[in-house]
Amino acid sequence: MKAKHQRLTLLALAIVAVLGAVLLAMSALRDQAAYFYAPADVARKGVPLDRAVRIGGMVKGGSIKRAEDGVTIDFVVRDETPAIIPVRFTGIAPDLFKENSGVVAEGRFLPSGLFVADEILAKHDENYMPPELARDGVKHKTRTLEGGTT
Amino acid sequence: MHIYANPARFLKLARPLTMWLGWSGAALIAFALFAGLFLSPKDYLQGDSVRIMYVHVPAAWLAMGGWTGIAVASLMQLIWRHPLANVAGRALAVPGALFTSICLVTGSLWGRPTWGTYWEWDGRMTSMLVLLFLYIGYIVLADADRERGGEGRITAIFGLIGAINIPIIKYSVEWWNTLHQGQSIGVTGSSIDASMVWPLLISALGFSLLFGAIVLMRMRAMLARQKIEARLRRMAA
């Protein structure tokens, strides 16, 4: 075996070992490294009452209700499962906070299941298009680079 | 690749290439930024702040591409002992760190109007910040190793280990719930409208060419310095 091949084999083995270790660590981190819980996660694991958490998902269409005081907003967060989370937030929401678009809220659950948020962030999705197209209802469609739509 | 083990042969190619890459890159960037600022439409949700994308996305691609280059150079050094590999790795690190910083700063400026925050510790942002620290670590380590008169083997090992962060950055938005949106442009297509994709691709090409020019410039400077040092040693002997 030439020295070059020996180095190649050794290095390949080392890379495989390190890669395996990291993948294991990452999959163990899966839950801890999540930036927020989706409604499905909360439904599966129960409501964490003891600490501040972030929840995220889509703002359900028609669910935003603004209270009389002008700063309190009630809305419902959904995901692709039937699970939902009712949220109450008092403060100024970002401009992109809209129905049927992504949201991340930071706060605590009340025992009743209502989530009281101290902070709201709008989550942007991967769709970018000019306003005219959005008005024409091309929303959330993936376009291929060749120009066709899928 | 081994043709260019001879620095003289490499320099003969690198000298004119630096100029071509640099100027064509600068011209493409100028055109792409003009197109991004004036010719492309605003986004239906983000408004004008979408235009940050024309700098942010190429910077992010090059930040990751830079470390991928370091990993390849590290392999070539450790296995084939290619004499230019160490030089290439060190030359890649500084522009790589620069583009990582540009990516972080522009992303932060975009995040404030879009998300409502400059910074959050989500998977994508944290792994990108780790990449910046890896670059800084690599630069410092390479410098220290050179001062000591080493061959840069320790730097190459660090470059390989650090490469693990690249797939983590790429897949962070799929593995974990993140504030950062998922991938828009893939092999199969793009969820960015065509009117915004073309300036983005030209910008990415322009910044890549400029990146290449910076790397070649730095490699030439390093080779020139090696030559001076060798000559000084001979004179001292």
Do A26 and A83 belong together in one domain? no
Query: How far are the Cα atoms of A116, A122, B113, B130, B133 from residue A95, in angstroms, in the given order?
Result: 20, 8, 8, 30, 33
Spatial neighbors of A26 by CB under 8 A, at least 6 apart, are A33, B168, B175
Residue A141 lies in a domain: no
The yes/no answer to whether this complex scores an ipTM above 0.85 is no
Instruction: Look at residue A88 and give its three-state secondary structure.
Output: strand
Instruction: Round the CA-based radius of gyration of chain B to a whole number and report it.
Output: 20
Alpha helices for chain B (secondary structure H): 7-34, 53-75, 85-114, 123-147, 153-162, 165-175, 194-236
Average pLDDT, chain A: 82
Count of structural domains within chain B: 1
Residues from chain A contacting residue B182 (CB–CB below 8 Å): 125-126
Q: Which domain holds residue A118?
A: 39-123
Residue A75 lies in a domain: yes
What are the pLDDT digits (tens) for A10-36?
888 988 998 888 888 887 777 677 788
Beta bridge partners of B176: none
CATH number, position B117 = 1.20.120
Q: Which domain holds residue B229?
A: 16-37+47-179+195-236
Residue A131 lies in a domain: no
What are the pLDDT digits (tens) for B207-230?
999 999 999 999 999 999 989 988
Residue B117 lies in a domain: yes
Using N-to-C axis directions, what is the helix angle for B53-75 and B85-114, rounded to 10°? 150
Query: How far are the Cα atoms of A23, A24, A26, B154 from residue A19, in angstroms, in the given order?
Result: 6, 9, 10, 19
Cα dihedral B116/B122/B124/B128 (nearest 10): 90
Residues from chain A contacting residue B79 (CB–CB below 8 Å): 4, 7-8, 11
pTM: 0.87
Q: Which of A7, A18, A143 sits opposite B161 (nearest CB)?
A: A18
Determine the distance in angstroms separating the CA of B231 from the nearest CA of chain A, rounded to an integer. 31
Do A48 and A14 belong together in one domain? no
What are the pLDDT digits (tens) for A67-110?
888 889 999 999 888 889 999 999 888 888 888 888 999 999 98
Do A47 and A16 belong together in one domain? no
Do A95 and A66 belong together in one domain? yes
A150 pLDDT band, cuts 50/70/90, is very low
Do A58 and A85 belong together in one domain? yes
Q: Decide if B33 contacts B53 (C-beta within 8 A).
A: no
